Structure 1
């Protein structure tokens, strides 16, 4: 059985990051690669949701990009923990939108926009 697993994972590797498939008998399921903190690699096969969309990452996505794109919508690019950058509590940006955010913040845009905010004082009774 171990030989079948290694052959299946090697077959997945030859097909490229975003097209990994586990083929054994009549099964066809996506495979994922998770990088471990100790430097190791872990392979996961099964339908665990979309792959991370950042570059050629093949990890399971656990986050969506929260960058506003207009009309009350956000980017929603699926991201893994390594590529989801937290810019505020529970607000994550993809690598591309993180660069836009940093440019906006570093140019003084945040301070300028916050200067236009009028605090809500509540209803006076």
Structure 2
């Protein structure tokens, strides 16, 4: 996908390094914490993911836009007008853009699914309260 967009190829992922190991551990912890959040009761999990999905969607959208629009092959710059920056060059590559794009699409799907299910959950909660009131 990054090649089709004309983003530069990254060779830094070919050799193991300390920052890549740190990134791997960070992503593993992030995934583990998400698995724990998914295993919570339905009301808690839905509340958690209803707040997480739009935040993650916006963050990955911003990361993908930054990676594409500010790279050397960006449509914003003429071929000779691009000046590289010192701090963000590592974020302007095919791997990061593809990862951010896939995450953005996934979080958009999660967010829309949760919004569709919200009404059904409210109806369930009202029925549960009505049953509890009838028992009293």
TM-score by length of 1: 0.29
Higher share in strand: 1
Higher share in helix: 2
